[in-house]
Amino acid sequence: MSESVEQLAEHPDCLNCGVELQGQYCSNCGQRSSSRLISLWELIRDAFGDLFEIDSRLWRTIFPLLIRPGWLTRDYLEGRRARYMPPFRMYLVLSVLFFVVAFFNPREDLSLLFEPEPEPTAEETQELDEARAEAMEKLEELAEDGVISSEQLDEAIDEAIKVSNGQKDVKFTVVDGEFAGDEVNFEIDPDSGECTFYGHDKLPDWLQRRLTKERLQRTCERIGADDGKTLLELVLDNIPVALIVLLPFMALVLKGLYPLSRRYFVEHLLFFVHFHSFFFLMLILEIMYSRIGGLINLPEAMIVLVLVAASFYVPVYLYKAMRHVYGQGHFFTLTKYIVMLFAYFIGTTFTMLGALLFALVSV
């Protein structure tokens, strides 16, 4: 074994691509010339090196992405690329990280590590029933009086929602989707789990042929079996694909807004890959800040203020990125920016409806 290692160490060519070595690193593929056995520490450093090295491509990419709108796109288009993470890799990493941060629930996903919640006692059950009845009575009194302020109504609804799980004769809408201006609703009785739907005859013909009444009834029964939990999970699973579909649509819009820019479609696509990466990064930071703020008991007003400021920063970032990358004045950029926001609304609506449709046929 030691002899073979020594032979490898004396080999004049790169062990990865076969090019003759001129130094410590291969001039063709970049692999290090050392042939000694890899240690456990090297494997860990290769896996997390970019995370802990201050001067790594990860941090050289994240900071400009966060605070310098359009900077990464402009640098990439001008040929300064090696110092940054590849755009699509960054997009995939941040999108996966966002969905992990946003939807990972340790008590659900790692339920084996937690003891189950104790069953409520008879006294607790009785108190819950009394609270339900009191909340419903309050709603009825407010409705009968005919004088209901928005604050009173919100308070009553919040109270009812908190205590109405399992209440008899109460139905709630699980899905409310709009197709060509008409509604298709699924309603579940929380007590019996019975699911009913309506609005099938108002769907477009092409959709009626695919979502038949029999298929919708089966879907409705499956949704009712777990109060829509499976449907919600399927919708969340489809959102990453929907966002990827949104990218080329927005790139086409951008190409139409800048017909004289002489930029290729893929260059406009790159702009939105970077912007969506920034958007995922902002959502990750907002979620983490909100959760950490709750753990260390920060004032709620401070948490809300920071989240609102961060939310306003996103549209400002998009405007400044358009200015930096395409270099037009405020008037033309603002006009195209408004069109862009409208296109975002249309594109997001249709892609989210698509995610909902695929979830419905997959239940």
Segment 301-321, tens digit of pLDDT: 888 899 999 999 999 999 999
220 touches 196 (CB < 8 A): yes
Burial of residue 179 (CB within 10 Å: 0-12, 13-18, 19+) is middle
Report the predicted TM-score, pTM, of the whole model to 2 decimal places: 0.65
Give the 3-state secondary structure of residue 177. strand
Burial of residue 226 (CB within 10 Å: 0-12, 13-18, 19+) is middle
Q: What is the mean pLDDT of residues 16-39?
A: 71
pLDDT value of position 223: 67
pLDDT value of position 148: 57
pLDDT category of residue 25 using cuts at 50, 70 and 90: confident
Closest CA to 286 of 66, 96, 58, 64: 66
Burial of residue 157 (CB within 10 Å: 0-12, 13-18, 19+) is middle
pLDDT category of residue 21 using cuts at 50, 70 and 90: confident
Q: Where are the alpha helices (DSSP H) in the chain?
A: 2-9, 40-52, 57-67, 71-77, 87-103, 106-109, 122-145, 150-163, 205-210, 213-225, 229-257, 265-295, 300-326, 330-362
Residue length, the chain? 363
**Helices 229-257, 87-103: inter-axial angle, 10-degree rounding:** 150
pLDDT tens-digit readout, 53-112: 555 777 888 889 999 999 999 999 888 888 888 888 889 888 888 888 887 766 665 555
223 touches 335 (CB < 8 A): no
Residue found by looking up tokens 């699911």 in the block: 195
More confident residue, 95 or 358: 95
pLDDT category of residue 49 using cuts at 50, 70 and 90: low
Give the 3-state secondary structure of residue 178. strand
Position 43: which residue type? L
Least confidently predicted of 16-25, 70-79, 187-196, 353-362 = 187-196
Q: What is the mean pLDDT of residues 338-351?
A: 92
pLDDT higher than 90, residue 269:
yes
pLDDT higher than 90, residue 340:
yes
C-alpha span between 125 and 13 (Å, rounded):
76
Provide the token pair at 266.
């893929």
